[in-house]
């Protein structure tokens, strides 16, 4: 296993910039390039961050291995991985950090000494974001929609933050069940991680908080993961989507008086940790928030 400690990027005496990027689908509105290159500029580093939107690729569903080979061959320090590849990328890697292993998803790949090392910075990014935006959130009973790569990370974050009952729902029940089983094995004593029942409205009615960990609401994926009628005042609602910052879910929730947390700060804090790993230098988190 690889630790999450900083690792020096490949030594390049030619003066070439640090190369990194993002691989995913429907990512043209991503703010990752601006976040990474802006922080690098403020630290006096030369860094180039590229977008590789496989939704534009003729072989979009099978292009990931070739794209990973290409960026590694070009001397990239690493790449971020987003929907829908956070779990699909794992068989293409040589090792995983402890966090990525526990979560079962990777959002950051480092290329070091001929090896591909998978990390997950999403869970800590979500934990820090929720703690900042909703410091008084009731974490006793939370419903989460989505059990994919982002959902695995947010679920881990909820357990680390002290959630006592975490209910997981996903249209892919097998995926949701697998996540529940994986998290349940190492859940602290007295903490329940379970599948949502068939009546999702009733599940949300009993919860203190709701998390959207699906792409619904993101550019290219319009809609909401739940019915607006299931929301109520007193329920807090968090979304991992950040383009746009105000999703249909958050807009509906705020109209009812719900406290909400947008996905922007999760994006910032996961990017800051990825920047640390790509460059071997600590990103200034608060400066990145101010410049988001």
148 is in an annotated binding site: yes
**Cβ(199)–Cβ(186) below 8 Å:** no
122 is in an annotated binding site: yes
146 is in an annotated binding site: yes
Q: Compute, in degrees rounded to 10, the torsion defined by CA atoms 255, 260, 261, 263.
A: -30
31 is in an annotated binding site: yes
Give the separation between CA 215 and CA 83, rounded to whole angstroms: 8
194 is in an annotated binding site: no
Catalytic residue (one of 86, 88, 171, 251): 86
Active site residue 86: yes
149 is in an annotated binding site: yes
Strand order in the sheet with 115-119: 47-53, 18-24, 78-81, 108-112, 115-119, 95-96
Give the separation between CA 93 and CA 199, rounded to whole angstroms: 39
108 is in an annotated binding site: no
267 is in an annotated binding site: no
Q: Residue 258: how many CB atoms within 10 A of its CB?
A: 19
270 is in an annotated binding site: yes
43 is in an annotated binding site: no
DSSP secondary structure string for all residues of 132-198: HH-TT---SEEEEE--SHHHHHHHHHHHHHT-SEEEEE-SSHHHHHHHHHHHHHHPPTT-EEEE--S
Q: Residues marked as binding?
A: 30-32, 82, 98, 107, 122, 146-150, 240, 242, 263, 270
Q: Residues marked as binding for shikimate?
A: 30-32, 82, 107, 122, 242, 270
Provide the annotated active-site residues: 86
């Amino acid at each position: 296993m690889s630790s999450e400690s900083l690792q020096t990027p490949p030594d390049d005496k030619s003066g070439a910039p640090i190369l990194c990027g993002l691989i995913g689908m429907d990512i043209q509105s991503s703010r990752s390039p601006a976040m990474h290159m802006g922080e690098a500029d403020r630290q006096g580093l030369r860094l180039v961050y590229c977008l590789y939107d496989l939704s534009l690729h003729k072989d979009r569903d099978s292009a990931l291995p070739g794209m990973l080979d290409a960026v590694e061959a070009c001397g990239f320090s690493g790449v971020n991985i987003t929907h829908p590849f956070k779990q699909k990328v794992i068989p293409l890697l040589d090792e995983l950090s402890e966090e990525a292993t526990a979560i079962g998803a990777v959002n950051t790949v480092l290329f070091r000494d001929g090896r591909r090392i998978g990390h997950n910075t999403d869970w800590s990014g979500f934990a820090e974001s929720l703690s900042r935006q909703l410091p008084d959130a009731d974490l006793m009973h939370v419903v989460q929609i989505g059990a994919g790569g982002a959902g695995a990370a947010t679920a881990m974050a909820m357990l680390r933050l002290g959630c006592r009952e975490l209910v997981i729902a996903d249209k892919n029940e097998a995926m949701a069940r697998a996540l529940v089983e994986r998290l349940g094995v190492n859940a602290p004593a007295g903490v329940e991680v379970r599948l949502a029942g068939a009546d999702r409205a009733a599940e949300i009615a009993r919860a203190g908080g709701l998390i959207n960990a699906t792409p619904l609401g993101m550019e290219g994926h319009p809609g909401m993961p739940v019915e607006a009628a299931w929301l109520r005042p007193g329920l807090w609602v968090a979304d991992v989507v950040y383009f746009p910052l105000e999703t249909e879910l958050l807009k509906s929730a705020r109209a009812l008086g719900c406290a909400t947390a947008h996905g922007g700060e999760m994006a910032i804090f996961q990017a800051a940790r990825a920047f640390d790993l790509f460059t071997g230098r600590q990103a200034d988190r608060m400066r990145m928030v101010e410049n988001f």
